[in-house]
Amino acid sequence: EVQLVESGGGSVQPGGSLRLSCAASGFTFSNYEMTWVRQAPGKGLEWVVYISSSGSTKYYAESVRGRFTISRDNAKNSLALQLDSLRGEDTAVYYCARRLELDVWGKGTTVTVSS
Partner 1 sequence: QSVLTQPPSVSAAPGQKVAISCSGSSSNIGRSAVSWYQQLPGTAPKRLIYDNTQRPSGIPDRFSASKSGTSATLGITGLQSGDEADYYCAAWDTSLSGIVFGTGTKVT
Q: Measured from the CB atom, is 32 or 95 closer to partner 1?
A: 95
Contact pattern for partner 1 over residues 46 through 75, marking x by CB under 8 A: xx--x--------xxxx-------------
Cα–Cα dist 101/24, whole Å? 17
Site for partner 1 (CB under 8 A): which residue of 8, 40, 105, 112?
A: 105
- Residue 5 as a binder of partner 1 (CB under 8 A): the answer is no
CA distances from 13 to 24, 86, 109, 113 (A): 29, 8, 17, 5
CB of 36 to partner 1, least distance (A): 10
Phi first, then psi: what are they for 101, rounded to 5°?
A: -75, -10
**Residues of this chain, 80-99, that bind partner 1 according to CB under 8 A:** 95
- Residue 35 as a binder of partner 1 (CB under 8 A): the answer is yes
DSSP type of residue 107:
-
Q: Measured from the CB atom, is 85 or 100 closer to partner 1?
A: 100
Q: Which helix (H) or strand (E) holds 109?
A: strand 109-113
Cα 83 to chain centroid distance, Å, stands at: 9
Instruction: Give strand pairing partners of 38.
Output: 46, 94
Contact positions vs partner 1 (CB under 8 A): 35, 37, 44-47, 50, 59-62, 95, 100-103, 105-108
